[in-house]
Amino acid sequence: MSTGLLDFFVLEGSECVEQLDGLLARAASGAPDIDAFARNARALRGSATMAKVQGITDVANALERIVKGLRDGSIEWTPALRGAVIATVDDLKILIRGVRAWGDGETARAAARTAELNAIAPAPVRAASPTPVAASGSAAFLAVQTSDVAAGLQKFADAPSTPAAFAATLAQIRALRGVAALLDLPPLAEVVAAVDDAAKGLEIGATTATDALRDLFRTAAVVLREGSDAIQAGGRPDSGTNAVFAFTVAAQGFVEGTGDDDQVVPIHTLFPDGAGENIVHAEPNPPTTPAERFKLEVVSQAEHLRRLVGDARRAVDAPSRQRLGYELRGAVRALARSAGSFGENVVANSLNALLEGAAALDPLALTGLDESAALLASRVDEPLAPKIAEIVRRATPMRSSTPISATPIVRPPTPIATPVVRTPTPLATPVVRPPTPMATPVVTQSYSPPLEAAPSGAALHDLLGAGISGLSSLGSTPLAEPVELEDDGVVPIQDLLYRGKSALRRAAQLGQSYRTSGATPNAEELAELYDLLELAEAE
């Protein structure tokens, strides 16, 4: 609660309590002025409600019931009642003075005083069944507005028109979204919010009437029409109908179709390394370090993420969970990219590890995100990366054995293939083919026979003679007819050129070498790069 609002409440509440005290003093032992007492009690309740001081609101409510009972005659002004009211006014003075440091003591004092007054004028008992919406004055307005919006959405879905023609329906959607009573009628609030967010891109011309947008509007129209009928009948919309399920599916398809193409990169990666005439120069003595700028940058993002986590924990209906899952995914991605742009790779990788769990509203992932975001929003001076990595390890037990890398995940470079030039090898003798073609054997296990003594002397003479004489028969009876091989010594030019992926890899290799050396490529080197790019498209 803002300090200004509390200051205003202290002034106004103190004035109301002083008026009540004066009325009791002037009445002596009799009943005070009922109308003036009721007017000041009502003003105190309204001011406490605005300041969200629930304890004082409850006490003021109890005083109003006392006044109502005195007015209709159901309660008699007795010395016991006079003593209870005077004690209540005295306690209200104490509670208002301590509103800036409200604690358990103030809560207990307000609860005790409320209970004492409730014993005299009990609070009305609410029915266990939901109160019909028709009992509120806004029921007719909500029923008519939701019906009109449903008709406008259905008309646009069936025959998309220009954003200007859709402006009237969009104005009704935004007016309906601002009605507080709609928050008590799930899933209507989620449907209206989703349609409003989807229509923003259509309004500024960033998106067109795609099939996904038309499906979203069409299913939203059915849900809003069902809700309008339920409100007119004095009931509440049903969150478990087939129409709500169809809307959830359409909304999921729409948000998944919208790309998340924003990419934050450090500016120094856009310039070559080394000395040179660069457009941007680093400040030799910057006022803040990158770590300090990172902490300042992500505070608002971390607080927004914590708010989404709190909303996700309270979401019960399918449209709310679907919307919050999408918003959490986007918030985590944005925060991780901000961390990566400042070189906080451990933080970025840790948050990305919780991305899928956040989209599914997993309780462990939500706890990890809440604790990590609390650290990022705390602005502490100590390093946050190790603590956030430990939080993520606890929130992702299936990945706890894999340490989170301090460097971005980069795929290893693909080895660049070097073209092989085929050189003709002249053959002195023709190749003799065996009579029966045999498949290349696959050796599964090597076998080494036992070594024997090498032949020598006469045994070696006989072995050589038998081998040579055995080979002499091949002159008259060859194993196969000799085949003459034609070799013109010509190599196809295609075998000597880069093509397709090999040309692209060669171009990437040259570009990397230029960046590493810091030299500016000349005209011949640029021409080679252009030729390689053309050859990459040839395949």
Distance of CA 128 to the CA centre of its chain: 38
CB atoms within 10 A of CB 206: 9
In a domain, 466, yes or no: no
Give the pLDDT band of residue 154 (cuts 50, 70, 90).
very high
246/343 same-domain check: no
Length of the chain: 539
Q: Is the pLDDT of residue 442 over 60?
A: no
Q: Is the pLDDT of residue 378 over 50?
A: yes
139/217 same-domain check: yes
308 or 279, which is more confident: 308
Last residue in a domain, options 216, 232, 257 = 257
Nearest to 109 by CA among 126, 131, 128, 87: 87
Q: Is the pLDDT of residue 412 over 50?
A: no
211/310 same-domain check: no
142/92 same-domain check: no
Give the pLDDT band of residue 222 (cuts 50, 70, 90).
very high
213/314 same-domain check: no
Of the listed ranges 73-87, 288-302, 358-372, the least confidently predicted one is 288-302
Q: What is the mean pLDDT of the chain?
A: 74
114/140 same-domain check: no
151/249 same-domain check: yes
pTM score of the predicted model: 0.38
Longest dimension (CA), the chain: 148
Q: Is the pLDDT of residue 296 over 80?
A: no
Structure-token pair, residue 230 = 């339920």
487 or 115, which is more confident: 115
Give the pLDDT band of residue 421 (cuts 50, 70, 90).
very low
Q: Is the pLDDT of residue 8 over 50?
A: yes
In this structure, what CATH number is given to the domain that contains residue 158? 1.20.120
What is the per-residue DSSP string for 161-221?
--TTTTHHHHHHHHHHHT-GGGGGSTTHHHHHHHHHHHHHHHHHTSS---HHHHHHHHHHH
Nearest to 328 by CA among 293, 299, 365: 365
Of the listed ranges 114-123, 283-292, 435-444, the least confidently predicted one is 435-444
Decide: 185 and 142 in contact? Cβ < 8 Å. Answer: yes
Average pLDDT over residues 526-537: 77
In a domain, 125, yes or no: no
In a domain, 331, yes or no: yes
159/62 same-domain check: no
In a domain, 442, yes or no: no
Domain count, the chain: 4
Last residue in a domain, options 351, 366, 399 = 399
144/115 same-domain check: no
Give the pLDDT band of residue 393 (cuts 50, 70, 90).
confident
CB atoms within 10 A of CB 106: 20
Of the listed ranges 9-23, 238-252, 353-367, 406-420, the least confidently predicted one is 406-420
In a domain, 415, yes or no: no
Q: Cα angle vertex 368, ends 363, 373, to 5°? A: 125
Give the pLDDT band of residue 405 (cuts 50, 70, 90).
low
Residue burial 451-472, b: 16+ Cβ < 10 Å; e: rest? eeeeeeeeeeeeeeeeeeeeee
Q: How far apart are CA 336 and CA 388, in angstroms?
A: 12
Give the pLDDT band of residue 494 (cuts 50, 70, 90).
low
In this structure, what CATH number is given to the domain that contains residue 71? 1.20.120.160
Q: Domain range spanning residue 184?
A: 133-257
Q: How far apart are CA 70 and CA 23, in angstroms?
A: 15
Q: Is the pLDDT of residue 416 over 70?
A: no
Q: Is the pLDDT of residue 269 over 60?
A: yes
pLDDT at residue 102, rounded to an integer: 86
106/156 same-domain check: no
Q: Is the pLDDT of residue 480 over 80?
A: no
pLDDT digits 0-9 by tens, 175-206 = 887 776 777 787 888 888 888 888 887 777 76
pLDDT at residue 140, rounded to an integer: 76
Nearest to 416 by CA among 505, 531, 498: 505
Last residue in a domain, options 399, 432, 458 = 399
50/90 same-domain check: yes
214/139 same-domain check: yes
Average pLDDT over residues 338-354: 86
pLDDT at residue 218, rounded to an integer: 92
In a domain, 437, yes or no: no
Decide: 392 and 404 in contact? Cβ < 8 Å. Answer: yes
Q: Is the pLDDT of residue 348 over 80?
A: yes
In a domain, 452, yes or no: no
In a domain, 488, yes or no: no
pLDDT at residue 451, rounded to an integer: 46
Give the pLDDT band of residue 221 (cuts 50, 70, 90).
very high
